[in-house]
A = this chain, B = another copy of it.
């Protein structure tokens, strides 16, 4: 059993704490949060102790730390935990500032560092199955890729203002999926984006709707479609056009119940919330963290975080300049 600590007792921290509690290889020893009541609540519901970050990092019985605190602390806490010899499971994004994130290369990109960056969609069993089948070659070489990623409804405008913008906050997942499925890094991006969902988002200088084209060195083309609001639930679909046919992963419905009436047939609603849609993915992430604590190499690491962020910055540059932009990793 590996003792771990969860830093951050907010929504995503509570998910990781709960998964840590039920993972057979992990014991949740500490919970850290500057808001005492949040830390206390999570500690009491999980049987963990409340502690400060210093205490956690100094405890030789703690072998891993989950960084689920606010985005602006991801980098700092990951560096500190790595320096203390802990394996780190850090939520995405690694940071909102690419140059700052690059500056941590020595600390986090070294061979000794064990940083696992939580791009949760790689751990969804549907997308994993899709990737396995793309890579099996059963349908021939992958040629083009469509990623549809539309949220049910936009976040509060206060969140939007500190989010770093849609590309770094939301599309970052899709940039990572693109890299993971394409099997190579995009070299150029063209982004057409707008704000039609909520005028306040546009006034805040952000976009809420985008279609993004990525091109790789070998000539593969990827389309990403984003919207902050779908009107029909959490739309998470991927289509991989291969030389011999199409592989695709579809949405997850709330149940298999259908109703047939005069209108036709109607399915149940799409799962509407990312914590439901990716509940299994979050459990699998924790299981992978247990693998890392057992000695495995992180499946997603520092360089993946840098690469996704680099694409996001280039996409913003493309959007602002209305031109294709070469991506600098």
Contact = CB atoms under 8 A, between A and B. Distances in A.
Contact of A225 (B223, B267, B268): B223
Given A231-B242, A244-B231, A245-B230, A261 B139 contact: yes
Interface stretch (A5-13, A26-34, A158-166, A248-256): A248-256
Interface stretch (A55-63, A74-82, A143-151): A143-151
The CB with the most chain B CB atoms within 10 A, among A129, A140, A241, A269, is that of A241
B263 A266 contact: yes
Contact of A262 (B211, B232, B265): B232
A232 B139 CA distance: 10
A278 B190 CA distance: 34
A253 B260 CA distance: 12
A261 B249 contact: no
Contacts of A245: 230-232, 259-262
A269 B264 contact: yes
Interface string A121-164: 00001100110010000111001101000100000000000000
A266 B264 contact: yes
Interface stretch (A101-109, A213-221, A289-297): A213-221
A257 B194 CA distance: 27
A257 B192 contact: no
B324 A190 contact: yes
B262 A133 contact: no
A110 interface: no
A256 B266 contact: no
A144 B209 contact: yes
A196 B219 contact: yes
B143 A196 contact: yes
Interface in A159-201: 190, 192, 194, 196
Contact of A192 (B221, B259, B264, B269): B221
Contacts of A129: 254-255, 257, 268
A246 interface: yes
A227 interface: yes
A44 interface: no
A243 interface: yes
A258 interface: yes
Contact of A190 (B190, B196, B232): B190
Contacts of A258: 246-250
Contacts of A243: 196, 231
A328 interface: no
A254 B257 CA distance: 17
B190 A231 contact: no
20 contacts: A146-B146, A192-B213, A192-B221, A211-B223, A230-B260, A231-B261, A232-B260, A232-B262, A232-B264, A232-B265, A235-B260, A246-B260, A246-B261, A249-B255, A254-B264, A262-B269, A264-B270, A265-B266, A265-B267, A265-B270
